[in-house]
């Protein structure tokens, strides 16, 4: 079975600084999708970024980028120029190529310090 | 476009009862997925419906069931409630594919006493 691990339960970053959240996963599949979701306090979950495993190029969305290392089964999220609004719970998630085996990591709570 | 809506937002039930939760997807979205979020187990995938058919299923007992209507609205039912079913139940919709971007609703907070 697929598993997703986020080894940092909590992290903090100074406003305007850069922070990297770690995620590792385990799978025997060759094609799959990886996601980072953000869940602000008492607000809805939103997709931050997604990566298709067959793409070698790392995905980027504005201040958010990933470091996808397929061989190492690692998928870290880098947040540049951190803002107060980035404070949230961040979940790393894995999904099989046909939508099967949708697995979330335990989450990392990110605090942004002014 | 209106976002994903879930009703009710809060629900209190007692053990042994059953409950039905409702999810209205974003207009035009045909896929609806359900998730359970608890402090202990985290986020877990329950099932996904597409065009009124269950397309994917997580590892939950048969007490958890769902359905989708022709207008893509979906309901989730939990029978014979247990204390451990207390959770935030999230619904998400996407346009078609199971790996398309999912848009989440605010969730239904279920408390089982």
Of A62, A2, A69, A68, the C-alpha closest to A38 is A62
pLDDT score recorded for residue A98: 75
Which one, of B90, B100, B108, B81, lies nearest residue B19 by Cα?
Answer: B81
Inter-residue contact B41 to B85 (CB < 8 Å): no
Probe site for chain A from B39, B45, B50, B60 (most A CB atoms < 10 A): B45
Closest by CA to B42, choosing from A88, A114, A93, A33, is A93
Tell me the three-class secondary structure of A61-94, residue by residue: ECCEEEEEECCCCEEEEEECCCCHHHCEEEEEEE
Contact assignment for B98 to A91 by CB distance below 8 Å: no
Q: Give the per-residue pLDDT at B98.
A: 65
Are B55 and B33 within 8 A, CB to CB? no
Q: Which residues of A touch B109 (CB under 8 A)?
A: none
Q: Say whether B42 and A102 touch across the interface (CB within 8 A).
A: no
Positions in chain A short of pLDDT 50: none
For A79, the domain range is 3-113
Per-residue pLDDT of A1-34, as tens digits, reads: 789 999 999 999 999 999 999 999 999 988 999 9
- pLDDT value of residue B68: 97
How many domains would you assign to chain A?
A: 1
Closest CA relative to residue A77, chosen from A42, A31, A34: A34
Domain harbouring A32, CATH code: 2.60.40.10
Which of A102, A103, A109 has the highest number of chain B CBs within 10 A, making it the mutation to test binding with B? A102
For β-strands A108-113 and A10-14, DSSP reports them as: parallel
CB of A15 closer than 8 Å to CB of A114: yes
CB distance A63 to A15 below 8 Å: no
Predicted confidence band at B38 (pLDDT cuts at 50, 70, 90)?
very high
pLDDT digits (tens, 9 = 90+) for B86-109: 999 999 999 877 678 889 999 999
- In chain B the beta strands, taken as DSSP E runs, fall at 5-7, 10-13, 19-24, 31-38, 42-50, 53-57, 64-68, 74-78, 87-94, 103-104, 108-112
Q: Which residue of A has its CA nearest to B6?
A: A44
pLDDT, mean over chain B = 93
């Amino acid at each position: 079975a697929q598993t997703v691990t986020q080894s940092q339960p909590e992290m903090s970053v100074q406003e305007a600084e850069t922070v990297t959240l770690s995620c590792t996963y385990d799978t025997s599949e060759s094609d799959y999708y990886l996601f980072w979701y953000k869940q602000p306090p008492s607000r809805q979950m939103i997709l931050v970024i997604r990566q298709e495993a067959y793409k070698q190029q790392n995905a980027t969305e504005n201040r958010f980028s990933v470091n996808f290392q397929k061989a190492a089964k690692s998928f870290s999220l880098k947040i540049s120029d951190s803002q107060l609004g980035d404070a949230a719970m961040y979940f790393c998630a894995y999904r099989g190529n046909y939508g099967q085996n949708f697995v979330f990591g335990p989450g990392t709570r990110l605090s942004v310090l002014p | 476009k209106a976002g994903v809506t879930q009703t009710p937002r809060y629900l209190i039930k007692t053990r042994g009862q059953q409950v039905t939760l409702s999810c209205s997807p974003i207009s035009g979205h045909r896929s609806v997925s359900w998730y359970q979020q608890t402090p202990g187990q985290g986020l877990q995938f329950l099932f996904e419906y597409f065009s009124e058919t269950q397309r994917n299923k997580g590892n939950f007992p048969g007490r958890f069931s769902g359905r989708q209507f022709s207008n893509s609205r979906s309901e989730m039912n939990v029978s014979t409630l247990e204390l451990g079913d207390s959770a935030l139940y999230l619904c998400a919709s996407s346009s078609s594919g199971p790996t398309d971007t999912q848009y989440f609703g605010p969730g239904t907070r279920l408390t089982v006493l």
